[in-house]
Structure 1
Amino acid sequence: MNKIRLSVSRRPEPTDVPNKENCHFSQVKCRLSTLSPLHLGSGEDYYPTNYVISQGYLHAFSDNQLAEVLGHAGLSKILDLANDGKDNAMAAIQKIIYEHAEQLMEKATHSVWASPGMVKQYTSRIGQVAQREANRTINNKLEIQRTIYNPFTHVPVLTGSSVKGAIRTAWLNRCNQGRKSQLNERNRELQQRLLEMGKRVDEDPFYLLKVSDASYRHAQGLMPSELWFAVSRRRKPQPDRAPSNLNTRLECIGPWRARCFTFDLNFLNASHRITSRKAPQSWHELAQSTNAYYLPKFKDELVQLGQNVGYFSQEWIQSINKLLEGDLGVALHNNRAMIIHLGKHTGAQDKTLDGIRQIKILGKKGTSPTTRSETTEVRLAAQEIEDQTTLLPFGWVVIELESDPVTNLLEVFDEASKSSKDRLEKELQWAVWRQEKQKARQAQEFEHQRKLKAIAEKDALQKSKEQEEEKRLRALPAELKTIMAFEQKLSMDQGNAGKGFGSPLIEEFKPLVILAGSWEPEYRQKLQSLASDLFTYLQVDRKKNKKAKEIWKSLGEEE
């Protein structure tokens, strides 16, 4: 493994702004295009509990969307597996999630193209145990490092600090002019000396250079992200020395994305705190220093890793040469455009200063480390882990002035991005399919809510009627309540029909007849009418049955 002893890091910027009365600035608008896969580390990962890979794409979803698909039973099963703490629990959880891939794809927040090797690795490992060691299980975690993104839209973001950090390295290299340091300086002390600045952050001359953030936007609608492996290869292959076993999974902004980021460069020109003038004051100065530092390194990579060793894709090299031999080459020579090395896995050589660069190289076990000005290994972007001949470098980008575009850039990028354009129709279909599914779910949910509302309204109306009826019944005289209670009992009876005067219903009716002796004639008549219904139900002839005749007579006039 290569370790860097001295490198240039970005300095934090103070939060305060120079006094407006003493501050003047000029602004240029820039556009960035990617020549190779670009990964700007976000510190976040895709985990296999929040994505599935199917039909050549990673489909990412949130915990809430996972819960919607799995339901209560599915979530309970996952929680039980997690709480059991068994060695194979993670593999079992991954398998459950993968079994619901199609439903999760419908609800995914976004989809990302996955390289063939990534698809193959995921399919072979998902839900499987990687290996067993010393009575313990090693699980396939399958994390994929995410590039910086907008958390609401999931669109990649270019941070101004990343661009500014790359510019700062090139500018410090210009200030140093390849001189070897005779001092035992720390990184911060080195920068203070080269920039002729004080120890305070707000005395840093680069405080006067402001670079805005930018969100991905492509004129032809090419999707921004792709999944690549970061593999390690020896800079100069040796049969007896294999490279380190690195195959990190990365989300990258894909190569050949023309003018996909637009951002501002602001050159502030005054501050009572900052006395050093050792910072770029114009686009020309900035482009001059960055091209002087990065362009030779870029060309060296093309020769050393592309031509001599043969790691790079020949199609990619041909497209790069077409750019460098055409208008872009002229623009770089005249500092109308600039090339920089940006993001992760771009190597120590492009983050350290010429003349001061000392990279610690670990040798074989038991041997002392050495220091060199060149790394022995490089990190390259691969679609297949074992690939040796169609690899790409990480993080090479071109920056132009919006007001002074390179004329043939779009033509070359259009040809070189054919594979991405060929996928565009499928990616648009994903988006349309997901929108249609979402609309269908929304329509279904709307209908479900409509039915629930109708049921609720019906229940509320029924409850209101019942409350009104209850209120009405409470207001009735006691006599009517007594009559109505027996009416209800008679209407619900099923076992006494036709049983005559000996039915238990007669015994229950007799107390009412006694009570009716003190009632008003109006209520006695109602009870008499109820007696008629009772006799009919029991098949009692009140004119022939003496006892029935007595009941009838006691309630009113005899017919």
Structure 2
Amino acid sequence: MQTFKIEAQVVSPLHIGTGEVYEPTEFFIDPSRRELCIIDFEKFCAHFSASELQKFKKICFAGTLQSLLNLYAFVDQTCLNFLNQGLRDFIVRRIELCEGFLEHYRRMQSLTGKQLEKEFNKFTIYRTAFSPNDNQPIIPGSSVKGALRTAVLNKRRHKVQGKSYQDYCRQNRRGRIKCEAKKLEQEILNYENFKNDPFRLIKVSDFRPKGPVKTRIVYAVNRKKDGTSARGPYQILEVIEPGAIFEGEITIHDPPPRIKTKDSRKTCLISAPVSFEELIQAATAFYGGERDREFEDLSQMGASVPLFPEEGTPLRVGRHSGAECVTIEGFRHILIRGKGKNTYQDHATTLWLAGEFSKVHNPSGLKPFGWVVFHKPDAKGSKSSGKTSSTKETKPGLDVSKLGKRFKLVVKKK
């Protein structure tokens, strides 16, 4: 078994979603500093006066769309009042906002009726992956391992030379195409089930910040490769800013010993294990090629091209990594949505890019998502790590648990 320490440097805005979003009771907007401030809900409530607590209860129990807007306004104003009183202990951290967010936020609060409903449904701020212990952003090991697996699948795709996606796809009764990606992977990596999968021997830790890490709220906008607007609606994402450095470990376990079958022949459980050297070679070849291809597309459409360090191994992780970076070359069957008719191609026709505004008139400020660089590691012995847990302090005499539960039910309905 070998364990390799890795440093991962973020090169372009990175968002790895976990399904969590920032709820109205979890943040307020500080317009003077153009920041979204994450708050400790219990400490925030602990500063309430009797009248503020009653007003907060009334808003939470209203259960209407307008009451959710009122909740935004209440939390914003109350937090700003606390700041004017010198109270800051309820602020967990601050996140910089992109240029268009403040105007968008104010405009949404002035809407009513169907316009409000339409806009509010899109106004969801997706949180990037984080550690629950210290509230700091992380790069999950599962994302890194998935990206490495894609690279190795592309490196070994010669194992199924002569075949195409059609050999692994079939049409169901409704006329839809269903592709058996798992079967393709099994043939490329030469395994039948999980115990024979060579990636069972590879363990990737979560990557944690090495020093300060900044996050930012941006818009994800869909653009055609000719630079014009595409059909995809914008999204609001928290991203890790370029320049952040994370550290983690990749452990390669030794293959299990050969076992004897009934006919006395020896069979290896994992016939084609993956070495660390192959991981690096595969990532360099696959993601290096995809990087060059995408950067050419970005230059042609007038978007920003990130600067890569001179040394290191490129990798693509997180949301909006691009269809080409998560599929196997030669077996791509990418859905292209059109007006009244959908088609399939071997390449994507649009890109999701990080921008300052929900509507983009000039693509020059747009940036690609998810590019990171692995720096050359040193092989070291295996290490073990323990998990720690932390609990939040609650001020005696103030029970806000019921309010929190009630609010979550309201949000789910909406």
TM-score by length of 1: 0.58
Larger Rg computed on CA atoms: 1
Identity rate of aligned residues, in percent? 25
Give per-residue Cα distances to partners, 1:24-57, cap 9 Å, x unaligned. Answer: x122111100110111112111123211121111
Matched residue, 1:300:
293
Matched residue, 2:57:
79
Matched residue, 1:207:
200
**1:62, CA displacement in angstroms?**
2.8
**1:132, CA displacement in angstroms?**
2.2
The one-letter code sitting in structure 1 at the alignment partner of 2:338 is G
Give per-residue Cα distances to partners, 1:427-481, cap 9 Å, x unaligned. Answer: xxxxxxxxxxxxxxxxxx9xxxxxxxxxxxxxxxxxxxxxxxxxxxxxxxxxxxx
Give ranges in structure 1 of 5+ residues lacking alignment.
1-24, 329-336, 405-444, 446-559
**1:249, CA displacement in angstroms?**
0.9
**Conserved in 2, the CA contact under 8 Å of 1:269 and 1:281?**
no
From the superposition, tell whether residues 288 and 359 of structure 1 become closer, same or farther in structure 2 (CA, over 3 Å): same
The one-letter code sitting in structure 1 at the alignment partner of 2:27 is Y
2:39 is aligned with 1:61: yes
Q: 2:355 aligns with which of 374, 379, 382?
A: 382
State how 1:60-139 maps to structure 2 within 5 Å: 60-102=38-80, 103=82, 106=88, 107-125=90-108, 127-129=109-111, 131-133=112-114, 137-138=117-118
Q: Distance between the aligned counterparts of 2:273 and 2:238, measured in 1?
A: 34
Q: 2:344 aligns with which of 365, 371, 389?
A: 371
From the superposition, tell whether residues 138 and 184 of structure 1 become closer, same or farther in structure 2 (CA, over 3 Å): closer
From the superposition, tell whether residues 30 and 84 of structure 1 become closer, same or farther in structure 2 (CA, over 3 Å): closer
Give ranges in structure 2 of 5+ residues lacking alignment.
170-179, 260-267, 380-394, 396-414
**More relative contact order, 1 or 2 (CA 8 Å, 6+ apart):** 2
2:167 is aligned with 1:183: yes
SS in 2 for 1:88: helix
SS in 1 for 2:155: helix
Matched residue, 1:22:
none
**Conserved in 1, the CA contact under 8 Å of 2:100 and 2:357?**
yes
**1:281, CA displacement in angstroms?**
1.3
Matched residue, 2:175:
none
**Conserved in 1, the CA contact under 8 Å of 2:152 and 2:278?**
no
2:269 is aligned with 1:275: yes
The one-letter code sitting in structure 1 at the alignment partner of 2:192 is G
**1:138, CA displacement in angstroms?**
4.8
Supply the RMSD in Å over aligned alpha carbons. Answer: 2.4
2:14 is aligned with 1:43: no
The one-letter code sitting in structure 2 at the alignment partner of 1:108 is I
Q: Distance between the aligned counterparts of 2:29 and 2:370, measured in 1?
A: 25
**Conserved in 1, the CA contact under 8 Å of 2:323 and 2:348?**
yes
SS in 2 for 1:116: coil
From the superposition, tell whether residues 243 and 61 of structure 1 become closer, same or farther in structure 2 (CA, over 3 Å): same
**Conserved in 2, the CA contact under 8 Å of 1:338 and 1:398?**
yes
State how 1:462-477 maps to structure 2 within 5 Å: none
Q: Distance between the aligned counterparts of 2:68 and 2:54, measured in 1?
A: 15
SS in 1 for 2:13: coil
Matched residue, 1:246:
233
Q: Distance between the aligned counterparts of 2:62 and 2:36, measured in 1?
A: 29
**Conserved in 2, the CA contact under 8 Å of 1:53 and 1:122?**
no
**1:70, CA displacement in angstroms?**
3.2
SS in 1 for 2:210: coil
Q: Distance between the aligned counterparts of 1:371 and 1:139, measured in 2?
A: 31
Q: Distance between the aligned counterparts of 1:95 and 1:292, measured in 2?
A: 51
The 4+ residue runs of structure 1 with deviation greater than 6 A are none
State how 1:481-500 maps to structure 2 within 5 Å: none
The one-letter code sitting in structure 2 at the alignment partner of 1:33 is Q
**Conserved in 2, the CA contact under 8 Å of 1:380 and 1:392?**
yes
More helix by share: 1
State how 1:117-196 maps to structure 2 within 5 Å: 117-125=100-108, 127-129=109-111, 131-133=112-114, 137-138=117-118, 140=120, 142-177=123-158, 179=161, 180-181=163-164, 183-184=167-168, 186-196=180-190
Q: Distance between the aligned counterparts of 1:27 and 1:81, measured in 2?
A: 53
The one-letter code sitting in structure 2 at the alignment partner of 1:151 is P
SS in 2 for 1:83: helix
From the superposition, tell whether residues 245 and 357 of structure 1 become closer, same or farther in structure 2 (CA, over 3 Å): closer
State how 1:353-372 maps to structure 2 within 5 Å: 353-365=328-340, 367=341, 369-372=342-345
SS in 2 for 1:183: helix
TM-score by length of 2: 0.78
**Conserved in 1, the CA contact under 8 Å of 2:195 and 2:269?**
no
Q: 2:225 aligns with which of 218, 235, 255?
A: 235
Q: Distance between the aligned counterparts of 1:86 and 1:228, measured in 2?
A: 28
**1:276, CA displacement in angstroms?**
3.0
Q: Distance between the aligned counterparts of 1:389 and 1:120, measured in 2?
A: 21
**1:299, CA displacement in angstroms?**
0.8
Worse overlay, 381-390 or 248-257 = 381-390
Matched residue, 1:6:
none
The one-letter code sitting in structure 2 at the alignment partner of 1:192 is Q
The one-letter code sitting in structure 2 at the alignment partner of 1:264 is E
Matched residue, 1:348:
323
The one-letter code sitting in structure 1 at the alignment partner of 2:110 is Q
**Conserved in 1, the CA contact under 8 Å of 2:24 and 2:71?**
no
From the superposition, tell whether residues 139 and 302 of structure 1 become closer, same or farther in structure 2 (CA, over 3 Å): closer
**Conserved in 1, the CA contact under 8 Å of 2:301 and 2:363?**
no
2:11 is aligned with 1:30: no
**Conserved in 2, the CA contact under 8 Å of 1:62 and 1:109?**
yes
SS in 1 for 2:199: helix
Q: Distance between the aligned counterparts of 2:246 and 2:65, measured in 1?
A: 45
More strand by share: 2
**1:376, CA displacement in angstroms?**
1.6
